[in-house]
Amino acid sequence: WKTYVGRPEADQYRIRGFGILGGALRLNGQYAEALPMMEAALALTQRYWSHDEQAILQLQDNLASCLVDVGWCDEALVLRREIYARWVATLGVSHERTILSGTNLLGVLLKLDLWDEVKWLARDQLLPAAQRSLGADHTLTLDLNVKLTGATMLNSKSSRNDLRLNQHRFSRHRR
């Protein structure tokens, strides 16, 4: 990273260096140290490369993951919602990247025990889009089914009908 310190602030390699260092620290479990690197990469990209929305969304996604890692799930939720909304607006609801972003949003919703929102987003939004565009056997579709089933089982407000619907969905998939 020292190679990039002397470069101009707007230099893309300097900015990428912050992002790469943040990612490496996060992968090494050094979440608190990764966070400022990821924030710097995002801030500089937003300032000097604001036209590159996909790069900004990817950096926001990395930052949201790091926020979850340090236990700041409320902040991560705000960011994940923003990211998902931008992917929907940019690529549409049925694009694989959008569905992945929605799956990441579900993960934070589950951590915060927001069962009703998990159920609505997974069952009514993401699963139909994933089944339609990716197919029933795609890993994202399967992951959505698992998350929805887990949320239904963990939610004390789930009805017997909700549980039966989940059982039906899995038994239909096995055929």
38-81 pLDDT, tens digit each: 999 999 999 998 999 999 999 999 999 999 999 999 999 999 99
pLDDT confidence of residue 41: 94
Q: Whole-angstrom Cα distance, residue 85 to residue 77?
A: 12
Mean pLDDT check: name the lowest of 5-19, 23-37, 74-88, 110-124. 5-19
Say how far residue 80 (Cα) sits from the centre of its chain.
6
Report pLDDT for 80: 98
> Of 96, 91, 61, whose CA–CA distance to 79 is shortest?
61
CA distance 143 to 81: 19
Rounded distance, CA 36 to CA 26, Å? 11
Give the position of tokens 């089982």: 153
| 140 band by pLDDT with thresholds 50, 70 and 90 | very high
Give the separation between CA 25 and CA 27, rounded to whole angstroms: 5
Give the per-residue pLDDT at 157. 66
